[in-house]
Structure 1
Amino acid sequence: MPFASCPPARPPRHLLRHLSASTLLSLAAAAQAADPATFKIAYIDPLSGPFANVGELMLLHTQYAVDEINAKGGVLKPGPQGVKLQLLQFDSKLSAQESLSALQAAIDQGARAIITGGSGSSVVSALVQAAAKHNERNPDRAVLVLNHSSIDPDLTGKSCNFWHFQFEANTAMKMKAIANTIKKQPSIQKVYLLNQDYAHGKQWARYGQELVGLARPDIQFVGDTLHPIGRVKDFSPYVAKIKASGADSVITGNWGQDMTLLLKAAGDAGYKLRYFNHSAGSVPGTVLAVSQAKMGELTWVAEWHPGQADSARVDALAKAYRARTGKDFLAPRIDMTPRFLAAAIQKAQSLEARQIARALEDLSLDTVVGPVRMRGEDHQALLPQVVNTIAPVDGKAVKLGWEGTNYGFRTDALYSGNELAQGTECRMARPQ
């Protein structure tokens, strides 16, 4: 059973008459937040709109890990009673303003850690800045921002922040893995850059041109186009533009429906392309879209892919996850994010955010994808990456069909976190 918490002492009745309604509400919220039986985590990511399926996937992965931690007694063990993790849910609506409102609501409800990443790097950056300001003014109610999917290198580079931790390989790390793979494929000659018009899309294009160009100086970049994120319903005009350029490949940071609709448009046009992407295969519907297009190859990079050889620990987790949720398991990094948090709380023997942050620095865990270290100097996780391609099942390289299709994942290359690690511009300012 959870700890039984004592009710807070009430101010004398004659003082209550002089307190404003807002002050009374603040006192009530503080009393609620002080419950020692739980450590509250706020999930802030899209749960409505064009990317709701992505947000729901991330939420389910997070909730599964939290439930497992609680089933094993929670955190701060051994002790008379473990402290349980409680997951609060907020819809970011893919908006920085909505996310900031959710952050304030989460803090008011007692959250001391935020798990986010599926709303894009600009949203995560806004959350980190707001959390840092809040923490400076309210050190006794500080919050951490744990980022599982937004991969802007600036978040652990020149804009690094003590309160932010990134559990996904960043854009530069992923593009380095892709560039190493393209280097061995001389058939790739002409590349088009098509990306969503926001921070991540622009960076995927920039790092693509820089790192792929460095690996293959002979490659021609024949076009560079940005499009509105989540608002294009028909990618046919973009496909026509790519075709006119003579491109054989596309470097695209698109995800969710922006990726599946691009695949559909190219398939409808009968245009065979190679696509190089960061995480498309871990989003529901992508494998189905590739199989329906019946042409083209989508190569992406992640910490694991379904059907990967020598991944018994992930396979066991995926099997247990499906048995409990009825859904496919796709993203070990999201599952490991609350597990890192729990391990840091245990190491710090504290529920105070600053102490947890210090415990997270240089913390290493033996995860289902192997050893992962949270680099202390910039709060960038160093985790393995596998370059893989969605391809037809052949019984050899691809043995497992996915999403009810005869398409699965073919491993192209494996890299350790240390092999892909980049230098950093981070100059971390740490609170006293």
Structure 2
Amino acid sequence: MSRFCVVLLAALWWPLALCAQQGQTVRIAFIDPLSGPAADIGRNSLKSWQFVAQRLNDGEDRASVRFLIAGFDNKGSPQESLNVLKAVIDQGFRYVVQGNGSGVTAALSDAITRHNQRLPHKAVVLINYAAMDPALTNEKCSFWHFRIEPDTAMKMQAFMLFLAQQPEIRKVYLLNQNYAHGQQFSRFFREAAAASRLPIEVVGDELHPPFLIQDFKPHVDRILASGAQALVTGNWGSDMVNLVRGLQARQSTLPLLAYYPALKGVPTELAAGTTGFPVYQVAQIHTNTGGEIGRVATAFRARHGEDFVVSSSHDGLVMLRDAMARARSIEPLAVARTLSGMVFEGANGPVTLRSADHQLQAGLYVSRWQKTDARFPLAAEATGHTFAPVMALNAAQIGRPSGCQMERP
């Protein structure tokens, strides 16, 4: 133990939690698509986790752990993810970060739970930063899985609270990718609309093959012919870019409500169009979020020339750092027990990792695509446009009950 820690301990008891971890390196395996149609999103996410890790490593908290994050390409495949998981466990990684694809998360969570039952001395913790299937923290919940992003049921509740203030939008068209996320988006939108008692009519509900369509104009034609007053989508990556391109090609002015219009490439495509249309996003941050997230975003943009949109990378590493300090250990079981029910400082203030299901309880913003102005001067992808908040919702407003029956070691 360093002389610095000994001096602190002579004055206070609480620094023991920090000093016990001084100099220890925590190796984290990032498992997500780094090749193929979702590669741009995966690489931006990896850069975000690595950037925040380096920022924390270089910070003033010298008594803290140090993070090392290595990227592993799963090609978006559950089976490939399981192959990668076996390899990273063999290499000594005890923390896994993953987010793109709820099917991948479910496979990893199940495999990690079984692995930890067989080999508790080599236990692994899974941090889910983006996969939003509510089942992952309900009927498929695991003690070893922690989701640090509001799930799709919570985000749909945010959409309903927004739509309650938009009486001109009562007919909507759902367009989504035909895999777990898109199917759940459609299902939970319908369930949330019914529960809200708003007079919302779904006039179209279409699923399409993910990352295979280049030209969305035929889809846009069907949407416009349906009489819809808004298009609602969970599309992301190239499918979101191409959908925006198709809307612009048909000079659509239909409002677009989405999860992922701020992800890489979409703001540039939105700004390139000659026909503007309202775009609304539900997310934990917006382009002009202040505080530490704002400082991280500015520094990230200067380093990488890309926007910092994966705010959960910040929350995840701050969460792990604090849990390891409180647990006085980097061992997965001790850290997981500390994480369960922990309150920590998230992107927008204090947040809670609910003990019952390990679902982060955090607020959301609904933000609108608009030109930058004096109030919201920071642009998305240097376009002169930004996502400006129009509604801030706290965790209590969007929270959903837990159906998890968790087995705890």
- TM, length-normalised to structure 2: 0.90
State the AA in 2 paired with 1:340.
M
Distance (Å, rounded) in 1 between the aligned partners of 2:138 and 2:287: 31
Give the C-alpha shift of residue 280 in structure 1.
2.7
Work out the number of aligned pairs and report it. 387
- The answer on 1:110 being equivalent to 2:92 is yes
Q: Which residue of 1 aligns with 2:83?
A: 101
Tell me, yes or no, if the aligned pair for 1:307 and 1:398 is still in contact at 8 Å.
yes
Structure 2: state its 5+ residue gaps.
1-22
Give the C-alpha shift of residue 242 in structure 1.
1.2
Distance (Å, rounded) in 1 between the aligned partners of 2:294 and 2:379: 15
Q: Which residue of 2 aligns with 1:339?
A: 318
Distance (Å, rounded) in 2 between the aligned partners of 1:104 and 1:73: 35
For residue 150 of structure 2, give the secondary structure of its aligned residue in structure 1.
coil
Q: Which residue of 1 aligns with 2:199?
A: 218
Q: Which residue of 1 aligns with 2:12?
A: none
For residue 414 of structure 1, give the secondary structure of its aligned residue in structure 2.
strand
Tell me, yes or no, if the aligned pair for 1:275 and 1:296 is still in contact at 8 Å.
yes
Give the C-alpha shift of residue 312 in structure 1.
3.1
Give the C-alpha shift of residue 83 in structure 1.
4.8
State how 1:28-177 maps to structure 2 within 5 Å. 37-72=24-59, 77=63, 83-118=65-100, 120-177=101-158
Tell me, yes or no, if the aligned pair for 1:100 and 1:126 is still in contact at 8 Å.
yes
Q: Which residue of 2 aligns with 1:6?
A: none
State the AA in 2 paired with 1:194.
L
Give the C-alpha shift of residue 400 in structure 1.
3.4
Tell me, yes or no, if the aligned pair for 2:314 and 2:347 is still in contact at 8 Å.
no
Distance (Å, rounded) in 2 between the aligned partners of 1:428 and 1:246: 45
For residue 81 of structure 2, give the secondary structure of its aligned residue in structure 1.
helix
Distance (Å, rounded) in 1 between the aligned partners of 2:229 and 2:117: 51
1:251 to 232, 252, 272: 232
State how 1:318-329 maps to structure 2 within 5 Å. 318-329=297-308
* Gap change, CA 1:384 and 1:156, over 3 Å in 2: same
Tell me, yes or no, if the aligned pair for 1:250 and 1:275 is still in contact at 8 Å.
yes
Q: Which residue of 1 aligns with 2:19?
A: none
Deviations 1:329-363 (A, max 9, x none): 22322222122112111111122211110010111
- The answer on 1:304 being equivalent to 2:291 is no
* Gap change, CA 1:190 and 1:150, over 3 Å in 2: same
Give the C-alpha shift of residue 382 in structure 1.
1.2
- The answer on 1:183 being equivalent to 2:170 is no
* Gap change, CA 1:401 and 1:161, over 3 Å in 2: same
State the identity as a percent: 36
Q: Which residue of 2 aligns with 1:360?
A: 339
* Gap change, CA 1:400 and 1:351, over 3 Å in 2: closer
For residue 403 of structure 1, give the secondary structure of its aligned residue in structure 2.
helix
Distance (Å, rounded) in 2 between the aligned partners of 1:92 and 1:384: 30
Tell me, yes or no, if the aligned pair for 1:45 and 1:91 is still in contact at 8 Å.
yes
Tell me, yes or no, if the aligned pair for 2:126 and 2:146 is still in contact at 8 Å.
yes
Distance (Å, rounded) in 2 between the aligned partners of 1:181 and 1:353: 39
Tell me, yes or no, if the aligned pair for 1:163 and 1:357 is still in contact at 8 Å.
yes
2:181 to 200, 216, 219: 200
Deviations 1:49-99 (A, max 9, x none): 111111111111110122133234889x4xxxx653222210111111111
State the AA in 2 paired with 1:53.
D
- The answer on 1:405 being equivalent to 2:383 is yes
Give the C-alpha shift of residue 290 in structure 1.
1.6
Shift >6 Å, 4+ stretches: none
For residue 360 of structure 2, give the secondary structure of its aligned residue in structure 1.
strand
2:267 to 262, 284, 287: 287
State the AA in 1 paired with 2:319.
F
Deviations 1:121-147 (A, max 9, x none): 111111101111111111110100001
Tell me, yes or no, if the aligned pair for 2:34 and 2:75 is still in contact at 8 Å.
yes
State how 1:261-280 maps to structure 2 within 5 Å. 261-280=242-261
Q: Which residue of 2 aligns with 1:420?
A: 398
Distance (Å, rounded) in 2 between the aligned partners of 1:318 and 1:240: 37
* Gap change, CA 1:406 and 1:193, over 3 Å in 2: same
Tell me, yes or no, if the aligned pair for 1:201 and 1:253 is still in contact at 8 Å.
yes
For residue 301 of structure 1, give the secondary structure of its aligned residue in structure 2.
strand
Tell me, yes or no, if the aligned pair for 1:179 and 1:215 is still in contact at 8 Å.
yes
For residue 130 of structure 1, give the secondary structure of its aligned residue in structure 2.
helix
Tell me, yes or no, if the aligned pair for 1:169 and 1:381 is still in contact at 8 Å.
yes
Deviations 1:154-183 (A, max 9, x none): 111111100000000110111111111111
For residue 111 of structure 1, give the secondary structure of its aligned residue in structure 2.
coil
User: Which has the higher mean CA deviation after the structures are superposed, 212-221 or 284-293?
Assistant: 212-221
State the AA in 2 paired with 1:201.
G
Distance (Å, rounded) in 2 between the aligned partners of 1:416 and 1:323: 31
- TM, length-normalised to structure 1: 0.85
Tell me, yes or no, if the aligned pair for 1:88 and 1:106 is still in contact at 8 Å.
no
State how 1:378-393 maps to structure 2 within 5 Å. 378-393=357-372
* Gap change, CA 1:74 and 1:63, over 3 Å in 2: farther
Q: Which residue of 2 aligns with 1:351?
A: 330
Deviations 1:293-342 (A, max 9, x none): 3332221111111124xx23322222233344443222322222122112
Q: CA RMSD in A?
A: 2.0
Deviations 1:98-117 (A, max 9, x none): 11111111101100000110
